């Protein structure tokens, strides 16, 4: 009987360790999302948070074009629509200017915000505050 208690404790502790967030597999990238409407593409733009939906938007510099980073309508378990490090840098207050690889959820139409996810960003400059 004294043998079953340590075995039971070992099984319980092993189960807890297996469920910790650090041992969870990372979300798949935007490029692998099953609901993409086309090929990923590069843009130079400014990423910021706004009131409204979608809250995270990417303005293509040199144009009036604004892309919406969909985090609701195209949210799928196991997929990331914006890299975690980018979301943390943005933190609801900063703007990030740089070169982004985005993948479309909707087709580009004049006068409509195209919904995308962000695969990656490089050459970024973070500006604090509004």
pLDDT for 41-83, tens place per residue?
999 999 999 998 999 999 999 999 999 999 889 999 999 899 9
At 24, the pLDDT band (50, 70, 90 cuts) reads very low
User: Would the pLDDT of 5 be above 90?
Assistant: no
From residue 105, give the alpha-carbon distance in Å to each of 2, 16, 88, 100, 115.
58, 37, 23, 16, 5
Domain range for 58 is: 27-127
19 in a domain, yes or no? no
Higher pLDDT, 56 or 14: 56
Say if 20 falls within a structural domain: no
First to last CA, the chain: 64
Number of domains in the chain: 1
Give a yes or no: residue 5 inside a domain: no
Q: Is the pTM of this model over 0.75?
A: yes
3-state DSSP assignment of residue 4: helix
Band the pLDDT of 36: cuts 50, 70, 90: very high
Per-residue pLDDT, averaged over 24-45, amounts to 89
pLDDT confidence tier of residue 130, bands split at 50, 70 and 90 = low
Confidence (pLDDT) at 92:
84
In a domain, 123, yes or no: yes
Q: What is the pLDDT of residue 65?
A: 94
Tokens (6 digits) for 105: 């959820």
User: Does residue 68 lie within any of the structural domains?
Assistant: yes
Query: For residue 15, what pLDDT is reported?
Result: 41
Task: Record the tokens describing residue 106, joined without a space.
Answer: 């909707």
18 pLDDT more than 60: no
| pLDDT surpassing 50 at residue 88 | yes
Residue 71 in tokens = 């985090």
In a domain, 11, yes or no: no
Residue 53 lies in a domain: yes
Upstream peptide bond of 54 is cis (omega within 30 degrees of 0): yes
In a domain, 107, yes or no: yes
């Amino acid at each position: 009987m004294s043998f079953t208690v340590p075995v039971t404790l070992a099984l319980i502790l092993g189960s807890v360790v297996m469920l910790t967030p650090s041992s969870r597999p990372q979300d798949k990238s935007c490029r692998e999302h099953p609901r993409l409407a086309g090929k990923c593409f590069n843009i130079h733009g400014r990423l910021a948070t706004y009131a409204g939906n979608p809250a995270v938007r990417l303005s293509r510099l040199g144009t009036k074009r604004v892309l919406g980073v969909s985090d609701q309508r195209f949210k799928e378990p196991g997929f990331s629509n914006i890299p975690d490090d980018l979301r943390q840098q943005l933190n609801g207050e900063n703007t990030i200017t740089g070169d982004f690889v985005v993948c479309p959820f909707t087709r580009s139409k004049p006068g409509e915000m195209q919904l995308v996810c962000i695969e990656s960003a490089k050459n970024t400059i973070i500006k604090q505050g509004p």
